[in-house]
Amino acid sequence: MVLMDKASRYKLKLAPSEECDFTIREVGFWGELCWVWGATNPVYRIAGRLGVLSLVLGLAAFAPLVWDIATRAWAHPKAVCQPGATITSSIATEPAMATTGGINRQTQPGLKKR
């Protein structure tokens, strides 16, 4: 005996007292996602959709990290492969920009050095 709701009976075109043979098989991860997305029970549907949304947002948040690693590997292939290698940024090595908060006092007229 398999208990099912009215929506499932309607999709299978079954009457409430009609007998039918079923084959139960595993559907895998994608089948579970499809089932939970279209579930008739709002508890399962809302929880499943929030889970899918959090999975998508988590992957989207992870994408910039992958992009950064890939671009650094492309720009400095030896530095990424060698343990202990460091990659320096040009932003931190410019002393005028780093110490004065973005104002280059040496090139702008009228500004005094402290």
36-65 confidence digits (pLDDT tens) = 988 888 999 999 999 999 999 999 999 998
CB 20 within 8 A of CB 4: no
Highest mean pLDDT range out of 9-13, 70-74, 82-86? 9-13
In the predicted structure, residue 96 carries a pLDDT above the cut 80? no
CA nearest to 15, candidates 26, 4, 23: 4
pTM confidence score: 0.50
> Per-domain residue ranges for the chain?
7-89
C-alpha R_g of the chain: 30
Q: At what angle do helices 28-37 and 42-75 cross, to 10 degrees?
A: 130
User: What pLDDT was estimated at residue 6?
Assistant: 85
- pLDDT tens for residues 62-83? 999 888 888 887 776 665 556 6
